[in-house]
Structure 1
Amino acid sequence: MKTEYLHSSLFLVSLLLIPLSYVSSAPPDPNAFLQCLARNNVSDEDTKAIVFSPHNPMFTSVLNSLAKNLRFQTPETPKPVVIVTPKIDSHVQSTIACAKEMKIQLKTRSGGHDYDGRSYTSNETFLILDMFNMKRIDVFPETETAVVEAGATLGEVYYNIWNKSKIHAFPAVDKMDPDLFIRLLLQPGDKTVKVTLLGEFLGDCNRLVGIMNQEIPQVGFKNTDCMQSTWIKSKLWWANFDNNTAPEALLVLFN
């Protein structure tokens, strides 16, 4: 009878546990970003005019100029590495290229409103591409089109349309009828909620009454609920200006 021996190997494993500390990398040096812009054909003169680092005295005022929510204007709010305010297309292209090269999150801020701070705050290392210098508006009434750069505010768009044509308008959104814009205002009470409909219609009151009673018959909309004015005057009304305000007031109105 053949006996086989089963050999078992005994071993002792010692585990050396070394605590790891996760150290976040230091934020990129703004100078490194400037050097990247230079490599991407942005001149020193342009860089001085369009780039704002935290050391620039204008940095905070530029950062807060379109910050609509005061909650994001505190010392604790994360700040961008730099703010770039491009004036031409190539500035935008170079900024995107450098953000990608340096692995920095890019936040783009245009002429619109942003109450949530998504265009100028982040928990990651980021820079802001602020488009406020690029706000050219070309209106072509003959083709009923317009070309608007990203930095333009709605007030500037409205004014330029009115300045080119007194019979054209821009409805802003297309809910239900494409000429109708409605905003819902909710006012809570003790046990009830008051609902107010504020709206704008590119047409006369008679046509509006028909549309409202077809789409929302529960409201019981009547001609007396409607006030007719010129389109540009309606923009001033939305901005809480009185009836005697000149349209030029829209040019200094932020959205």
Structure 2
Amino acid sequence: MDKLHVISLLLLISASVTTSQPVTDPIAFLRCLDRQPADTASPNSAVAFIPTNSTFTAVLRRRIPNLRFDKPTTPKPISVVAAATWTHIQAALGCARELSLQVRIRSGGHDFEGLSYISTVPFFVLDMFSFKSVDVNLTERTASVDSGATIGELYYRIAQKSNVLGFPAGLSSTLGVGGHFSGGGYGNMMRKYGLSVDNVVGSGIVDSNGNIFTDRVSMGEDRFWAIRGGGAASFGVVLGYKIQLVPVPAKVTVFKVRKTTREGAVDLIMKWQSFAHSTDRNLFVRLTLTLVNGTKPGEKMVLATFTGMYLGGSDKLLSLMNRGFPELKLKKTDCTEMRWIDSVLYWADYPIGTPSSVLLNATVDKKLFMKRKSDYVKRPISRAGLGLILKKLVEVEKVEMNWNPYGGRMGEIPSSRTPFPHRAGNLFNIEYLIDWSEAGENVERKYLALANEMYRFMTPYVSSNPREAYLNYRDLDIGSSISSTYQEGKIYGVKYFKNNFERLVDVKTTIDAENFWKNEQSIPVRR
């Protein structure tokens, strides 16, 4: 063998071995992509955007709704790979190995801590935006939906085919299916049908070696179990889900009643705590607590908003409310009957009469700085405790709360059926929201401190040992992994998954012993 051939062989061998140090040169990444197997019609590098591309910033920002992670100082990827084929995904993963790069997988971008598109180590974003097909099968009453589709797109495609089928998922239409489903996915039909993952019957996934599993049989039941609520980014690239559609009536009824503390909101909140989780499972009534101006200059008070949806007509709803929650004094004029697809728009705060085609808009129209936290309540909060909570909300000003009732189907599904463990025994879930529009590090620190202050104040009223949290309201304050150890992961893992955490670790250790799939709150391996 001549000297030239020896050198060529050595170069080929070195290119196939993972480097010990991450490569941070975007051009080297593009070259790596072009060395991978490719579809003749679509070169791998053609879907990779690097910082020197004029469209890089637009592609990166198109699914970043949280301005906290859209600043000049935010760590940027060496590339955004807008994969359009399975081969593109395989090529990107091959280069992740070869160049020692971390992969961040993005579907909708609604991860509240930005973990789907930022990292503190060299990384690229695998953007699933182009994987957005929705195929509805009326005969089976199922749909196959790609992970890059939004739930708004899913809802719209279902309604195109049927007026009496729907799916239980979230209320924000721009949520990506991939992330939303993999964390559990709840919405206003959960008391009737459970979570999104409770209605997932199949899936496809790509592992770290580029192997593609197109159904639950080929991927194995343990992996299929893990990606339905355990955070799929810890286990691979989910291509999509097959879901079981659920029946909805031709007309549902929605309503919204607002009362301030001066108008008797305290009594209504106390009654809501006993009513909302125990009433007919066709009824979902969310309680939102926000701050409004009082009648005196500078006065602030809490406004309680009761937003409900009943899977049926207004007459039956009024009968149900008059028996179980007469204190709310719900009237016929408060109620609006509409198609289920129109109720999706109602809950997303679109004006009544807005065409449902607006759900096809996958872009967040109004971006804000934001923080989310979560809690679970297992026993009613006393009147005295409620009074203190409402007083504290006035003190912290910007923090709002959504109280989402459980009961019904949520109390019947075993906590081990999926990784999502928050089932029987919960009266309601709390989502803490704080949004702001002013930029600046000092402003951000101030508002994050207010969110944490309210969260600490709620300690006596919520679950404990562990203090439970919902994965889709991602919160790094409850624990974060620096060294990707089991000990670090357990701190946040038991809060998100309770007893299911250990099984998730076992699955992870079996299928990804090298811990290729990792982020600040991923499932660790057992070492």
With normalisation by structure 2, the TM-score equals: 0.39
My pick for the range that moved more, 43-52 or 188-197, is 188-197
Q: Which amino acid aligns with 1:88?
A: T
Choose the corresponding residue for 1:203, options 312, 316, 341: 312
Q: Deviations over 1:34-73 (max 9, x none)?
A: 2322232135853343100111110000111111011222
Query: Residue 135 of structure 2: SS of its match in structure 1?
Result: strand
Answer whether contact 1:140 1:146 (CA < 8 A) is retained: yes
Choose the corresponding residue for 2:120, options 111, 114, 123: 123
Bigger Rg, structure 1 or 2: 1
**Are 1:38 and 2:31 counterparts?**
no
Structure 1: gaps (5+ residues): 1-24
1:76 — aligned with what? 73
Choose the corresponding residue for 1:105, options 79, 102, 108: 102
For residues 121 and 181 of structure 1, the distance between their equivalents in structure 2, rounded to whole angstroms, comes to: 36
For residues 122 and 193 of structure 1, the distance between their equivalents in structure 2, rounded to whole angstroms, comes to: 38
Q: Deviations over 1:132-153 (max 9, x none)?
A: 1110000112211111001111
- Alpha-carbon deviation of 1:212? 7.1
My pick for the range that moved more, 181-190 or 158-167, is 181-190
Answer whether contact 2:109 2:117 (CA < 8 A) is retained: no
- Alpha-carbon deviation of 1:244? 2.7
**Are 1:254 and 2:363 counterparts?**
yes
Q: Which amino acid aligns with 2:32?
A: C
Q: Which amino acid aligns with 1:90?
A: T
Answer whether contact 1:68 1:114 (CA < 8 A) is retained: no
Higher normalized helix content (fraction of residues): 2
Query: Residue 337 of structure 2: SS of its match in structure 1?
Result: coil
2:149 — aligned with what? 152
**Are 1:175 and 2:216 counterparts?**
no
For residues 49 and 24 of structure 2, the distance between their equivalents in structure 1, rounded to whole angstroms, comes to: 14
For residues 341 and 116 of structure 2, the distance between their equivalents in structure 1, rounded to whole angstroms, comes to: 29
* Percent sequence identity over aligned pairs: 40
CA RMSD of aligned residues (A): 2.9
Q: Deviations over 1:112-138 (max 9, x none)?
A: 633331211111211101111110000
**Are 1:187 and 2:321 counterparts?**
no
Q: Deviations over 1:145-187 (max 9, x none)?
A: 1110011112111110111111111221353332555544221
Q: Which amino acid aligns with 1:185?
A: T
- Alpha-carbon deviation of 1:254? 3.5
1:234 — aligned with what? 343
1:19 — aligned with what? none
Matches within 5 A, 1:129-148: 129-148=126-145
Q: Which amino acid aligns with 2:115?
A: R
2:93 — aligned with what? 96
Query: Residue 153 of structure 2: SS of its match in structure 1?
Result: helix
For residues 113 and 169 of structure 1, the distance between their equivalents in structure 2, rounded to whole angstroms, comes to: 22
My pick for the range that moved more, 191-200 or 105-114, is 191-200
For residues 211 and 238 of structure 1, the distance between their equivalents in structure 2, rounded to whole angstroms, comes to: 21
CA distance 1:122–1:199, shift in 2 (3 Å):
farther
For residues 131 and 65 of structure 1, the distance between their equivalents in structure 2, rounded to whole angstroms, comes to: 12
Q: Which amino acid aligns with 1:177?
A: K
With normalisation by structure 1, the TM-score equals: 0.76
- Alpha-carbon deviation of 1:195? 3.3
- Alpha-carbon deviation of 1:80? 0.4
Matches within 5 A, 1:55-70: 55-70=52-67
My pick for the range that moved more, 177-186 or 85-94, is 177-186
Structure 2: gaps (5+ residues): 1-20, 170-185, 194-281, 293-298, 365-527
My pick for the range that moved more, 93-102 or 171-180, is 171-180
Answer whether contact 1:159 1:250 (CA < 8 A) is retained: yes
CA distance 1:186–1:61, shift in 2 (3 Å):
same
CA distance 1:219–1:93, shift in 2 (3 Å):
farther
1:8 — aligned with what? none
Query: Residue 75 of structure 1: SS of its match in structure 2?
Result: coil
